[in-house]
Amino acid sequence: MLRDVMAELRAGSDDFLMMILSSPSGAGKTTLCSKLRKEFPALAFSVSHTTRKPRTGELDSREYHFVEEPDFRKLVEEDAFAEWAEVHGNLYGTSLAEIERARQAGSLGILFDIDFQGARQIRARVPEVISVFILPPSMEELERRLRSRASEDEPTVQRRLAKAKLEISNYSMFDYLVVNDDLEKAFERMKSILVAESARRMRKSALAESLLRRGRL
C-alpha cells in the first residue's frame, strides 16, 4: 500500500501540494531539498527572484531569477510576490507566478526553500501550504557543520549561529519539525509527511463528493 502511494506521488496527481522547507544554515535543508526533488520529479521547485549578483556557477532561472532592483520593486508594487524580504542588503522574493506555473505544468506540487520570515508571509497568503522546519540535533553539531565548510570564516560562523537561534525560536509557526540527526532518517521523515499530506481530507473531498453524486444516480 505504501509503495502504491509513493508511486502516485512520484508520478504526480490532481492534488496539488505546497511545502515550505526551512532551517538554520547548516541544518541540511538544501541537501534534503535536493533529495526530495530527485525522489519526486513531479514536485516543482520554486525559483526565487533576487537582486544580488550571480555567484560562480549559478545560472539565471536555475538557482535564482536575477533581476535589477527597479524591476524587483516594480514586482512588489504589482503584488506579484507571495513573500519577499531584504537580506544582507539584497532583495529576495517568491513570485505567485511560480506557483501558477507549477499548477499549469501538472506538477505534484511545489517546494519552497525559504527562511521563517518568508514562511510567515506565504502562510498568510496561502493558508493551505505545508510547512516543515529542519532542526539540528544540537547547537554543538550545528557549529561543527558550519566550521567544516571551508568557505566559512570565524565572523561568518558566529553570525550564522546567532541567526540560527533566532530562526529556531520561531519553530512554533511550522506544522512539522524534523530533526536531521541522520540524513537518510530525516529524508524518510520528509517522505512520510508527503504521503500523509496527500491523504488530507481537503485534498480528497472532491473525489468523495463525486462518489456520492454517482451513488445517487
Per-residue pLDDT of the chain (217 residues; tens, 9 = 90+): 445 544 554 554 457 899 999 999 889 998 999 999 899 888 999 999 999 999 888 899 888 999 999 999 999 999 999 999 887 789 999 999 998 899 889 888 999 988 898 999 999 888 889 999 999 999 999 999 888 876 678 888 888 899 899 999 999 999 999 999 999 999 999 999 988 998 888 778 888 888 998 866 4
**Model pLDDT, residue 203:** 78
What does residue 85 show for φ and ψ, rounded to 5 degrees? -160, 160
Nearest to 167, CA basis, from 123, 117, 132, 111 = 117
**Model pLDDT, residue 171:** 95
**Model pLDDT, residue 7:** 55
In a domain, 64, yes or no: no
Query: CA 22 to CA 159: how far, in whole Å?
Result: 18
If one counts the domains in the chain, the total is 1
In a domain, 122, yes or no: yes
**Model pLDDT, residue 175:** 95
In a domain, 176, yes or no: yes
Beta bridge partners of 133: 22, 177
- Element holding 15 (H helix, E strand): none
In a domain, 133, yes or no: yes
Nearest to 158, CA basis, from 139, 178, 177 = 139
In a domain, 74, yes or no: no
Residues spanned by the domain of 153? 2-46+108-215
Exposure class string for 23-62: b at 16+ Cβ within 10 A, else e:
bbbbbbbeebbebbeeebebbbbbbbbbbeeeeeeeeeee
How far, rounded to the nearest angstrom, does the alpha carbon of residue 34 sit from its chain's CA centroid? 11
Supply the DSSP symbol for 126.
-
What is the layout of strands, in order, in the sheet containing 17-22? 43-45, 109-113, 17-22, 130-135, 176-179
Nearest to 73, CA basis, from 89, 88, 84 = 84
Query: CA 171 to CA 28: how far, in whole Å?
Result: 16
Query: CA 206 to CA 211: how far, in whole Å?
Result: 9
C-alpha cell at 138: 544540537
Nearest to 146, CA basis, from 26, 5, 24, 7 = 26
Check which CATH number belongs to the domain holding 177 and give it: 3.40.50.300
In a domain, 143, yes or no: yes
In a domain, 66, yes or no: no
In a domain, 82, yes or no: no
**Model pLDDT, residue 12:** 47
- This prediction has a pTM of 0.82
